[in-house]
Amino acid sequence: MNRILLLVLLGACVILGAVLGFYNAVPVRFDFLLGQVEWPLIALLAASFAVGILIAAAFSSWRLVALRLSLRRTQKQLQQAETELRNLRNLPIQTDSRPGS
């Protein structure tokens, strides 16, 4: 059922993209710092969308790397604490044999 729903949504996106491409095929002049180009509007829209995805992926991967490093540090601290706890549990119990204690 989920696979069918996913295929229907994918098909709807393809159809929507085709319709947008058909109605936005008008050439547009795009001016940027280094010059200018004339491309179809749909190509500029797709290019800007792709650049946005790349920028978002770069920021997400940067945050993901930071979180993985933090996780590794925390796991190392947990392992050290577990080792210390295990060593403390294995220590012999000393009883005080003084009278009145």
pLDDT value for 68? 95
Q: What is the pLDDT of residues 60-92, one digit of tens each?
A: 999 899 999 999 999 999 999 999 999 888 888
The stretch 24-33 carries a mean pLDDT of 87
pLDDT value for 21? 83
Q: What is the pLDDT of residues 35-53, one digit of tens each?
A: 898 988 888 888 899 999 9
Is residue 42 within 8 A of residue 24, CB to CB? The reply is: yes
pTM, two decimals, is: 0.56
Q: For the chain, give me the number of helices (H) and strands (E)?
A: 2, 2
